[in-house]
Amino acid sequence: MKRLSIFLSLSLFMLVTIRSHGQDLKVKSLEEMLAENAVDTTRILRLESFVNMVLLNHPVVKQADLLPENAKQEIRLARGAFDPKLEASWDVKNFDDKEYYDFFNTTLKVPTWFPLDPKISVDRNRGEFVSRENLIPGSDDFRQVTAGLSLPIGRGLLIDQRRATVQQAELFAQITDAERLKMINKVLLSASKDYWEWYFSFYNFLLIEESLSISEEIYRRVKVDFDFGELAAIDTVQAAITLQNRKVDRRQALIDFRRAGLMLSNYLWGENQQPMVLQDDIIPELDFAMNMLGSSMPLDSLVNMAMTRHPELLKTNLKLDQLDVDRRLAMENLKPRVDLNYNLINSPINAQGNFVDVQLRNNYKFGVEFEFPLFLRKERSKLRQTKIKIEQTGYELNQLEREIVNDIQASYFELDNTQGMLGLMQQAANNYKTLLEAELFNLTIGESDLFKINFQQDKLLEAQIKLMKMRADMEKARVTLYWSAGLPYLNFNQDSAN
């Protein structure tokens, strides 16, 4: 009887001790979980740091940075039509010991933007059978200098193919700037969304791991209570099932986290274009205060900025400018071609290098060239085709403006409402946390059951995961809003892109 009394006293002491430990079983917040692990700040990858790495070495960004250089070469190529040209020719015929002719010509042409093209030529014509029109007196040593101008007074006076090509090349350079920004924004949009997927997958794993810890402790206590005969065997089965489900969830969460890390690694490149891999010990920053407010810009401001700075609208407007150049050139080609040529002979300098007084009505060559298609079918068709393209591009611009405005409004609405839901979801998670803590406390005093605990634990985990998912979705909505508005570098620090 004495032994039985000692055994009961010892059992009661152990039970009280076990239940007193139950008071230490509490539900931790994410901040408390990270504080317990004492995360090194060097292991935290913030969004801004990640974006800087993408802008620094990503291959698509490198490709985009080459576009302005290519446009610069297009302008250089177009301006090559105005490069001075030095031409020379030598034509000799000698037959039966006779010098029939010996023609040598050197010409320097200097095209100008205004179609008044100067030209200087030096000719040497000699031989027994030189035609009278090409004959140069022997007193001048068969040499002659001509200096003159060519001026179109019909087609080509206002615009010609050379000037049109240069203007279009300059517009192409502006289109290239818009295309470069579009390419970079697209990369940043995709990278930012993947960052927030990685963010969610990590904290989803952390929440499930904490829930697993709670389930392990509950299972241990249930098993102790069963050993003391306070719970039925079926309770241990129920606790074991919950624990097994948590372990499965943890494995799946770990797979999702590592997969998200590999997806994020797609954007990380070294200086020598060596691919980099995001290490598993690198984690995102938990900062609920970061960007908790909606867009820092009013809706009207975003729409107005998009109408003036959106890359797609800039490109389309510049295409209209290019088509307008084509239209003006097509209208110019409807005119007859009338070119005037005037050349001074041996003036103001002669073949011997001496300066000579200019006499405009003596010692000169003058000519007029005229050309005019009678039906103008080619020219009129070209003009009509250009006007059709202008109309088509105008319709495209109207549709683009409408789509962009609607996308901005939809993204703004989504961001605004997600922000409101985030506050409600935070309150719901806090309430579920309070309920679970109450059930765990009841467990320590023997007034709860596993069904209630498991139910409240499931609801808390579901609410916490939904909260983190909503947090990530809000940031995705924010970056999508900036993408829709066409903000340069999606409103990230632009200095990192320069």
The whole-number pLDDT of residue 496 equals: 46
Q: What pTM was estimated for this model as a whole?
A: 0.85
Show the tokens assigned to 298: 């009013």
The whole-number pLDDT of residue 10 equals: 31
The answer, yes or no, to whether residue 110 has pLDDT greater than 70, is: yes
Domain count, the chain: 2
Residues 302 and 215 grouped into a single domain: yes
Task: Please check whether residue 332 lies inside any domain of the structure.
Answer: no
Residues 240 and 321 grouped into a single domain: yes
The answer, yes or no, to whether residue 105 has pLDDT greater than 70, is: yes
Mean pLDDT of the chain: 86
Residues 138 and 62 grouped into a single domain: no
In this structure, of 25-29, 286-290, 302-306, 460-464, the range with the lowest mean pLDDT score is 286-290
Task: Please check whether residue 32 lies inside any domain of the structure.
Answer: yes
The answer to whether 325 and 392 are in contact (CB under 8 A) is: no
Of 212, 172, 196, residue with least CA distance to 260: 196
The answer, yes or no, to whether residue 387 has pLDDT greater than 70, is: yes
- 29-45 mean pLDDT: 68
Residues 73 and 88 grouped into a single domain: no
DSSP string, 295-362: -SS-HHHHHHHHHHH-HHHHHHHHHHHHHHHHHHHHHHTTSPEEEEEEEEES-SB-TTS-B----TTS
Q: What percent of the chain is predicted at pLDDT more than 90?
A: 60
Task: Please check whether residue 57 lies inside any domain of the structure.
Answer: yes
Confidence of residue 35 (pLDDT cuts 50, 70, 90): low
Residues 27 and 144 grouped into a single domain: no
The answer, yes or no, to whether residue 12 has pLDDT greater than 60, is: no
Phi then psi for 93, rounded to 5 degrees?
-130, 125
Confidence of residue 11 (pLDDT cuts 50, 70, 90): very low
- 149-177 mean pLDDT: 95
- 115-131 mean pLDDT: 92
Of 399, 480, 468, residue with least CA distance to 429: 468
- 373-386 mean pLDDT: 95
Task: Please check whether residue 376 lies inside any domain of the structure.
Answer: no
The answer, yes or no, to whether residue 392 has pLDDT greater than 90, is: yes
- CB neighbours of 202 closer than 8 A, spacing ≥ 6? 257, 260, 283, 284
Confidence of residue 384 (pLDDT cuts 50, 70, 90): very high
The answer, yes or no, to whether residue 4 has pLDDT greater than 60, is: no
- CB neighbours of 68 closer than 8 A, spacing ≥ 6? 173, 176, 177, 180
- 157-166 mean pLDDT: 95
- 298-320 mean pLDDT: 95
Residues 410 and 444 grouped into a single domain: yes
Which DSSP state fits 487? -
In this structure, of 37-51, 107-121, 278-292, 378-392, the range with the lowest mean pLDDT score is 278-292
The answer, yes or no, to whether residue 37 has pLDDT greater than 80, is: no
The answer to whether 153 and 337 are in contact (CB under 8 A) is: no
Residues 313 and 352 grouped into a single domain: no
Residues 142 and 94 grouped into a single domain: yes
Q: Which domain holds residue 364?
A: 84-114+116-155+338-371
The answer to whether 91 and 103 are in contact (CB under 8 A) is: yes
Q: What is the CATH number of the domain that holds 443?
A: 1.20.1600.10
Residues 131 and 229 grouped into a single domain: no
Residues 259 and 316 grouped into a single domain: yes
DSSP string, 347-406: -SB-TTS-B----TTSSEEEEEEEE--SS-HHHHHHHHHHHHHHHHHHHHHHHHHHHHHH
Show the tokens assigned to 166: 């240069």
Confidence of residue 124 (pLDDT cuts 50, 70, 90): very high
Between 26 and 68, the higher pLDDT residue = 68
DSSP string, 142-172: TEEEEEEEEEESSTTSS--HHHHHHHHHHHH
Task: Please check whether residue 330 lies inside any domain of the structure.
Answer: no
Residues 189 and 134 grouped into a single domain: no
The answer to whether 221 and 240 are in contact (CB under 8 A) is: no
- 216-226 mean pLDDT: 83
The answer, yes or no, to whether residue 104 has pLDDT greater than 60, is: yes
Task: Please check whether residue 2 lies inside any domain of the structure.
Answer: no
pLDDT tens-digit map of 73-85: 999 999 999 999 9
Helices then strands, each counted (H, E), the chain:
10, 8
Between 233 and 331, the higher pLDDT residue = 331
Task: Please check whether residue 35 lies inside any domain of the structure.
Answer: yes
The whole-number pLDDT of residue 230 equals: 72
Task: Please check whether residue 41 lies inside any domain of the structure.
Answer: yes
Confidence of residue 7 (pLDDT cuts 50, 70, 90): very low
Residues 233 and 311 grouped into a single domain: yes
Residue spans of alpha helices (H) in 118-232: 161-227
Between 451 and 417, the higher pLDDT residue = 417
